[in-house]
Amino acid sequence: MSGEIAAAFAKAKARGEGALVAYAMAGDPDLARSVDVFAAMVEGGADILEIGVAFSDPIADGPVIQAASERALKAGASLKRVLDEVVPEVRKRCPETPLVVMTYINVVMAMGQEKYAKLAREKGISGTILPDLPPEESTGIRAAFDAAGMDLIPLCAPTTPPARAEAIAKDARGFVYCVSVAGVTGMRAELPADLSSRLELVKRASPVPITAGFGISTAEQARAIGAHADGVVVGSALVRAAHADGPSAARQLCAEIKRGLKR
């Protein structure tokens, strides 16, 4: 598929590190300043950028990202504007960093799956995460993404039965996003005791790297997960830091988490 995502994980591994997939909301606090947040996260050590595209009903997201989505929508963010105005600027400032879009299936279908796949890939997007798209309903959009050379990145939830998790992993593109906790995104003081065994199951089945996300906000949590996964996804903690204290706070948090990912 895209190749850029695999290369980013390989580079992190060669440095003796787990990969950091860092999330921020495009358009929060506005389109131009969100570019500064993405660039700061790369300066802090992010290996892959996850670019959130706002949706009015973000069912997988907790209060922090819900609020960011509302701010982005008020600032005029849309899928087309993110691809036309935010992504090219991030690409200029972070030319070596793979970009992954995270949004919802309604947003993509409103544009048209073939049109989105073609435009996103032309703008430099390596993959897309659609948390409300079940594998059974993904055939058409996956074919469109495959044709464009872009990865449809799958998720495995804590409630995913082992056989289903293995099947998802075996046919994965880009990386497998293992959801750490039941529920929505957001910081957690503790992660589930069975997370390591779930990660190991997916890792054995997957031909691509695996990550864990939802609830991860500290270097200690990243270190614990790094023993069982190829990387972590951090979102709400970075969004909260950037909203409260600007891009420099997101840069600092990325640097702290990367220290936790050193092996």
Asked if 91 and 39 touch (Cβ cutoff 8 Å), the reply is no
Q: Which residues pair with 1 in a beta bridge?
A: none
Catalytic position from the list 47, 50, 151, 230: 50
Catalytic position from the list 28, 47, 61, 85: 61
C-alpha dist (Å) from residue 155 to 1, 6, 55, 167:
17, 17, 19, 12
The reported pTM is 0.95
Per-residue pLDDT reduced to its tens digit, 43-54:
999 999 999 999
Per-residue pLDDT reduced to its tens digit, 183-228:
556 555 566 678 899 999 999 999 999 999 988 989 999 999 999 9
Token pair 């609830």: residue: 215
Cα gap 61→59, rounded to integer Å: 6
Q: Has 43 been annotated as catalytic?
A: no
Average pLDDT over residues 255-263: 96
What CATH number corresponds to the domain at position 53? 3.20.20.70
Q: Which domain holds residue 65?
A: 4-261
How crowded is residue 41: how many other Cβ atoms within 10 Å of its Cβ?
A: 30
Q: Has 151 been annotated as catalytic?
A: no
Cα gap 72→30, rounded to integer Å: 6
Given this model, what pLDDT does residue 35 score? 98
Per-residue pLDDT reduced to its tens digit, 119-165:
999 999 999 999 999 999 999 999 999 999 999 999 999 889 999 99
**Maximum Cα–Cα distance for the chain, whole Å?**
44
pLDDT(62) > 90 = no
How many domains in the chain?
1
